[in-house]
Copies of this chain bind each other. A is one copy, B any other.
Amino acid sequence: MVFSSTLLENAVNEFAKLPGIGKKTALRLVLHLIKQNEKEVRFFSESIAKMRAEIKFCSRCHNISDKELCNICSNTLRKQEILCVVETIRDVIAIESTQQFNGIYHVLGGIISPLDGVGPEQLQIDSLIERVQLEKCNEIIFALSPTIQGDTTIYYISKKLKGVPVKITTIARGIAFGGELEFADEMTLAKSISNRIPVENYIVTGS
The residue that A48 contacts in the complex, of B41, B64, B97, with Cβ under 8 A, is: B41
Least Cβ–Cβ distance between A156 and chain B, in angstroms: 25
Complex Cα–Cα for A65 and B5 (A): 5
Contact A42 B32 (CB under 8 A): no
The residue that A52 contacts in the complex, of B25, B27, B33, with Cβ under 8 A, is: B33
Q: Is A184 an interface residue (CB 8 A)?
A: no
Complex Cα–Cα for A47 and B45 (A): 9
Residues of B within 8 A of A6 (CB): 66
Chain B residue with minimal CB distance to A29? Answer: B18
Contact B7 A54 (CB under 8 A): yes
Contact A64 B8 (CB under 8 A): yes
Complex Cα–Cα for A97 and B71 (A): 50
Interface string of A34-71 (1 = CB under 8 A from B): 10101001111111111111110010000111100011
13 A-B contact pairs sorted by A residue (CB < 8 Å): A1-B93, A1-B97, A4-B71, A7-B51, A7-B54, A11-B47, A15-B48, A27-B90, A31-B88, A38-B53, A41-B52, A42-B53, A45-B46
